[in-house]
Amino acid sequence: MSTERKSNIYMSDMTISTRQPATTKATFPAVRMRRMRATSPLRGLVRETKVSVEKLIYPLFIVPGSNIKKPISSMPGIHQQSIDSMLKEVEEVAALGIKGLILFGIPEHKDDKASQAFAKSGITQEAIRAIKNSYPEMIVVADTCLCEYMDHGHCGIVSGTGIDNDESVKILVKAAISQAQAGADIIAPSDMMDGRIGAIRQGLDENGFENIPIMAYSAKFASGFYGPFREAAESAPRFGDRTSYQMDPANSREALQEIELDIAEGADIVMVKPALAYLDIIARARMITNLPIAAYNVSGEYSMIKAAAANGWIDERRVVLESLTGIFRAGADIIITYHAKDVAVWLS
């Protein structure tokens, strides 16, 4: 990074000593950047970022019933599935070399207490058990949130016209414990209530799950890019929106503070979501923590590429790999992406 680029957004995070000294004054023709681009092996030698399948997590949407595989119209290739059908896809996913899944359960009955979020035989709990039974090696991440289980679609307990933070946290702790009891390998709270990481950590520890990591959706923005997911998870809020708990897309310093708080409360992995419009947040997060950073390449990001590719406007494979490369290059260690299966096929 040259010292001349004073406008660079990262400069404020860097001390003078971390800036690279100008070691050479040489310019063209002594310096020819194209030398190292001449052949494919040379380009491979100097390539800085690699997309690898073992760093990807594939999302699944599970519904009660049997023999159900219902396409989500806005997300070609993605389905709501019953557990039997889901297991067939998990077999395919495992054969492709994908090591991790994140589960979103859609219960038969929703209420205003999210009872099914912590029910022992809830759809998410059953799905976790079924996968761990047949594929014990598979990393099963449980998305811990209340919106899929609430009749009103909000991520917490509605009280008056707002969301009751502390009451919601109590339910989230119960949900996390029941997901761990079902066999989840990682708990991923996506609700954005204050203090939930510390409370969930304590709840897990008190119930003998001190070795279960928490992947915190730390900087989760109130984003229009979640649109297709809400069709998939049937979790669109019936009234209002999520702006009183999810972050304002305009804010980056606040995102860093959210990340720092989650780390202080015991997060093992911090997440930035969405990914592509928030690469600066990923890059800045990389500078303040040595913990693994996950990025969620969300539904709308997927749908846009699928739609453009279906119209023949872009080369899907190139654009997907370029997008994921960008997210890794920004500093992510893990990407949750609906493209995971396609990527696994392309890279094999």
Closest CA to 186 of 267, 251, 80, 279: 267
**Minimum distance from CB of 322 to ligand PBG (Å)?**
19
Decide whether 85 or 299 has the Cβ nearer to ligand PBG.
299
| Cα–Cα distance list, 35 to 29, 38, 47 (Å) | 11, 6, 14
Distance CA 303, CA 74 (A): 6
Binding of ligand PBG by 262 (CB under 6 A): no
Show contacts with ligand PBG in window 178-217 (CB under 6 A).
Answer: 190
Which range in 1-9, 141-149, 248-256, 261-269 contacts ligand PBG by CB under 6 A? 141-149
Decide whether 155 or 197 has the Cβ nearer to ligand PBG.
155
**Minimum distance from CB of 69 to ligand PBG (Å)?**
19
Strands (E), 44-138: 56-62, 69-71, 79-81, 100-105
| Cα–Cα distance list, 271 to 211, 235, 304, 333 (Å) | 19, 21, 22, 10
Binding of ligand PBG by 229 (CB under 6 A): yes
**Minimum distance from CB of 326 to ligand PBG (Å)?**
17
Distance CA 278, CA 327 (A): 9
Which range in 121-129, 143-151, 263-271, 276-284 contacts ligand PBG by CB under 6 A? 143-151
Binding of ligand PBG by 165 (CB under 6 A): no
Task: Determine how β-strand 215-220 pairs with β-strand 157-159.
Answer: unpaired
Residue 273 annotated to the active site? yes
Q: What element of type H or E holds 133?
A: helix 123-134
Binding residues for ligand PBG, rule CB under 6 A, total 10
Footprint of ligand PBG on this chain (CB under 6 A)?
143, 145, 147, 155, 190, 226, 229-230, 298-299
Q: Which residues are catalytic?
A: 220, 273
